[in-house]
Amino acid sequence: MIVCFSVLTRYLSAIKPHQYMSLVEKYVRKLLYEHDCVVLPELGGFIVHANHAFFSEQHNLYHAPHRRVAFNEALKLDDGLLVHYLTLNEPMSREEAQKQLRQYTEQIKQSIKTGGSYALAEIGTLSANEEGKYVFEPQPMVNFLPEAYGFTSIAAQSTQPALQLLSDSAADWTYTDRSPESLPFELPRRRRSRAAWYAATALLIGALVLGSNVQLTPSSLKSSLNPFDLMDRFSIDKKSNDVKVVVVQPVVNNTASVVVAPPITPQPIVLAEKAMVAPAPAPEIVSKPIKKATVVKPEIQRGVSSDENAQYWVIACGFMQRTNAEKLVNKLKNSGYDQAHLFNPDATEGTLIKVAAVGFETKSKANKYLRTVSKISGAQAWVLQK
């Protein structure tokens, strides 16, 4: 241990004070690339803030993203970052590193008092104003952003507007000889829709099909000045309409004779000139008495009575309010269930008041009236044994 301490003492004594200053500045500069704040005890702290890329209209330059350094005199407490970094990279103890930092800060203060400023290599210049406050001017060309290493500002190149060259050739006569007002106005052509073409094609095909089905007589193709020829064209041709009927009659001795019937000559159609059509007789109006319509009322089933010793009752429905139960009783009586009544008129609060329509001695007989009672009450009826 004594040998190591003596070796360390010799090493530190061999280092001159100005070498300590350059050594501390070296590690301050390295830490500014990795951290946002580096504090020099009893002097102040260097703070790094990032800026995005921007365009300077004053200098017509595009500046790359960068990190600039500022100084805050209020940060005087030692955070231990610089001391820890010195002990890791240099053969010195923590106490010796703190001692060298104090000497370095005192040297900076003394240089500012005597010379007015102190320049930190590749960091900036520290000076004092009239009030004795420290003023820091960073190096403009130093960028503490590692990702932007090697980036420089780029000057923006101005572009010249393109000129439109006008020629005096015949193709460009509209630009030189005549004004727009003197040019003829031409309406734009409308594009014919496909639907119009499809419709015209369909009409043409339909006309061809109808024309092919109409057969004209040879005489109809001839022109004539006689107006009555048109009527004669519709007359039946005698020669072309002669029909020969062949009748086969059975003959004895296994021989058959063929008899050719005379041709049937159809009577010509005679068109009466100026034929008068007799007016049809007016229909005779016969008045009949109107019978009065009779309205047939639906028959109401009456006479559904309960058995004397009824044990099974058809319950139409149950209600919480007595008024609703009484309305259903009246409805059942109007439908033929004269003995409909409230099954439990003295029901306690919270208990349903049941409406009984009819009662029977057997359950099977009561089940026959479930559907009819359900239609009247509008609810599903059930059988209850008394």
SS3 assignment, position 167? coil
The token pair that represents 79 in the structure block:
């955070």
Of the chain, the percentage scoring pLDDT greater than 90 comes to 22
Q: Is 119 exposed, middle or buried (0-12, 13-18, 19+ CB in 10 A)?
A: middle
The token pair that represents 245 in the structure block:
């009927």
pLDDT of 288 reads 58
* Average pLDDT of the chain, as a whole number: 75
The domain ranges of the chain are 2-155, 312-385
pLDDT of 39 reads 93
Q: How many CB atoms lie within 10 A of CB 340?
A: 25
pLDDT of 223 reads 59
Classify domain 312-385 at the CATH topology level: Alpha-Beta Plaits (3.30.70)
Whether the per-residue pLDDT at 75 is higher than 70: the answer is yes
The token pair that represents 119 in the structure block:
């320049």
pLDDT of 198 reads 86
Whether the per-residue pLDDT at 324 is higher than 70: the answer is yes
* Tens digits of residue pLDDT in 245-297: 444 455 444 444 444 445 555 555 544 444 444 455 555 565 555 655 555 44
